[in-house]
């Protein structure tokens, strides 16, 4: 019986040591990964310019352009404008 207890005790000590070492390695890895993530985040923030807001289109200006395009289309449909004239005027309006 004493040999059996000694074997069980030895196994318990080995298992406990293995668990402690495993936990320690896991914590060390997590710390390193967190540090690497923080360094990457700092590098990204230094490289990337701050996001700027895109200017909002003026709705009155858009309405005016749409009206002009409709008038151009009507003139083309009536035959007053050729295809080339229509395309040129459309580019001018949309520019």
Q: pLDDT tens for residues 40-81?
A: 888 888 876 666 666 666 777 888 888 888 998 898 888 888
C-alpha to C-alpha distance for 74 and 81, rounded to whole angstroms: 9
Residue with tokens 């040129």: 88
Res 28: pLDDT: 92
| Rama region for 94: left / alpha / beta (φ>0; ψ in -120 to 50; rest) | alpha
């Amino acid at each position: 019986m004493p040999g059996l207890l000694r074997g069980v005790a030895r196994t318990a000590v080995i298992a406990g040591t293995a668990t402690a070492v495993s936990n320690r390695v896991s914590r060390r890895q997590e710390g390193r990964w967190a540090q690497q993530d923080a360094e990457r985040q700092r590098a990204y923030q230094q490289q990337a310019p701050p996001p700027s807001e895109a200017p909002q289109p003026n709705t009155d200006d858009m309405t005016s352009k749409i009206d002009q395009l409709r008038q151009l289309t009507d003139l083309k449909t009536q035959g007053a404008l050729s295809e080339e004239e229509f395309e040129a005027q459309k580019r001018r309006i949309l520019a």
